[in-house]
Amino acid sequence: MIIDNDDLKKKLSISKERIIIFEKNIKELETAFDNLNNILSKNSIIKLNEQPSKNPSDLVSLEQRTAQKKFSLINNNDEEKK
């Protein structure tokens, strides 16, 4: 019985240490989620304050603009050759 009791005490103390560590991790995660939530809410506020673009050309992606420029350069070169 004495050996079992000592073994149980060790397991109990290990369990208590783990619980303390888990509780600490939970608090750290909650703090991290709060910080992330604050960052995301500020980002949303900034996006809400931005004026939407009324000019459709502003909505054209960089790739599309680059392709349009290349196409116009090719057409200009072809016209110059004629």
Q: How many CB atoms lie within 10 A of CB 22?
A: 10
pLDDT at res. 40: 85
State the residue for tokens 């680059």. Answer: 66
> What does the domain layout of the chain look like in residue ranges?
2-81
pLDDT at res. 6: 87
Say which residues have a Cβ less than 8 Å from residue 53's Cβ, sequence separation at least 6: 59
Per-residue pLDDT of the chain (82 residues; tens, 9 = 90+): 566 788 899 999 999 999 999 999 999 999 999 999 888 887 766 666 666 555 655 555 666 666 776 667 666 655 555 5
- pTM for this entry: 0.47
Q: Write the single-letter amino acid at 46.
A: I
